[in-house]
Every structure is written in C-alpha cells, then in structure tokens.
Amino acid sequence: MDPLGRKSITKNIRETGPALGILLATLIISTFIAEFTFTFGIKAVWLNLVRFLRLTLVLTLPLFLLPGICSLMKGFFNQGNRHLIQVQEDRDTALHPLKSWVVRPLQGIGLAMLIATKLLDLLQVYQGSTITVSTILPPRTFSLWTFLSATAIGVAISLLLSFLWTLDDLGVRLFNRKTREVKMIGRYVGLLLPILFGFYGIISHFEGKTQLLAAKYIAQMVIVLYPPFVVFTVLHSRYMKRREAVLLGRLKAARKLILADGTEEKANFTPGRNKDK
C-alpha cells in the first residue's frame, strides 16, 4: 500500500477512534459474554454491523442536501436590516476531540431522545394507557413503522444539526445593520436541553421500578447511537473544509469583520483551496 493510502487509513482510524472502540466492544460483549444492545450470539456480529451502517448512512447522506438547505434559509435570515456575515475570528472547521467525540454526539443523541419522547406522548394519548418498557425496545422482527419512523427522525436530526453546526464552524453570525448587534445562531444551540430533557423525558414515562429497567435500556440505546453520531460529526467536519466557499455563497454571508467600535470592515478571507462551483 502506498504511503498516502496508509496515511489516509491512519487518519480515519484516529478521527473515528472512539466510535470504532465502542463498536468493537459492543461486538465482543454481545457475541461472547452476554446479551448487550439487544442482541446476543453469532448473529450479534452482523446485526450490530448492519445497524451501525444503516444509522450512519441515515445521518450522513443528508449532508449532500446541506447546500440546498442553506439556499432555502438565506431568505429567512437575509431580510430587512438583518444579514448573515462571517466573523473570521469565530471560524473553526478543525476537528476537536471534545467537540466531535463528546459534545456533538451527545447533542444528537439527546435530540433523538427528545423527539422520541414527543412520539411516546402522542402514542400514549392515542392508546390511552401507560407506556411500558417493551414500547421502547427494538422489535424482535422487522417493523416497517419502526424503520420509517427511525429513518425520518434520523434525517430530521441530521439536517437540523448539520445546518446549525455549519453556521457555528464557519463563524456565520446574524448582523442587524440598524442596532449593529451580532447574534450567534448555531453555537451551542440546544446543547443541554436536548440531552437533559431527552433522557429524562423518556424515563419519566415509566413509573416505579420500571424506571430503572427503562434507564438500563436507554443506556444501551446511547451506546448503539454513539458510533454513528461520531462518524457523522467527523464527516461533517470534513465536508465543511471541502465545501466552505460553496456553503458561504449559498447563505449569502458577507465576509466582514465587526470591529470593537461597531464598524464594519471587509475580511481578507481566503478559504484554503476551496473554490466556488
């Protein structure tokens, strides 16, 4: 293998290390030790791998829709006295371990739990009965409804988070020309709320001792979701570096700096080797 190929593989392993480590541990435990993440035995190998690949594709494929989402949202933000600008000092497309391996994966998992909580609320009202632990467990056989609902939730989360992360990574801010106020749109939006309310929301559906059992299953769900979300955050970071100029163009974000006295100055911004296409 050529040096460039080995370097690329090493980089991929390093950047997705926590995801691969959790996935490998899951395979070993569920195959040889005990039932873990709802599977056990030899079949756990292909079930876990298929589940990982399916969730990863659901989260990452919507990245190709990101330029279109930016084009749709530019009209919402760029109107009247409001305009999107890029603050060069806040631009950061690099991959940071804390952000990419902890903060953003937990943000995505928490948001998934929060949406699932709302679906459980609707289901509970529709059924007119208390939700049981079996309701949150993956079905033993293929369920079209579960597959479609999980896919829809994954795509929605991917589009929402990737757009907010894009604004944060590219240093895009909302500038009010009249008040000269600069607002951050994407940075840490919904960081703690989805995590806290998402996890607590599902557990709160259960009463008595079943809450402990539900918490156990939810913890296993977090382990299942963590590797795909880590891969998602890593690929999002790479996508930003490659398509930065295109996304800024779609957002119609002016490349300006806001100085301490509130005046505007054009930023001498050169996005590496990126070119508008």
Tell me: the pLDDT tens digits for 176-196? 877 777 788 765 555 555 666
Q: Which residue ranges make up each domain of the chain?
A: 3-266
**pLDDT of 134 over the 70 cut:** no
Looking at residue 208, the DSSP 8-state letter turns out to be T
Amino acid at site 26: T
What was the pLDDT predicted at 262?
53
pLDDT band at 221 (very low <50, low <70, confident <90, very high): confident
pLDDT band at 86 (very low <50, low <70, confident <90, very high): confident
Residue, of 13 and 195, whose pLDDT is higher? 13
What was the pLDDT predicted at 64?
94
What was the pLDDT predicted at 201?
63
Query: Is the model's pTM score more than 0.95?
Result: no
Distance CA 163, CA 272 (A): 21
By CB neighbour count within 10 A (0-12 exposed, 13-18 middle, 19+ buried), where does 187 fall?
Answer: middle
**pLDDT of 2 over the 60 cut:** no
Q: Which of 45-54, 228-237, 268-277 has the lowest mean pLDDT?
A: 268-277
Closest to 200 (Cα-Cα) out of 210, 211, 209, 208: 211
pLDDT band at 45 (very low <50, low <70, confident <90, very high): confident
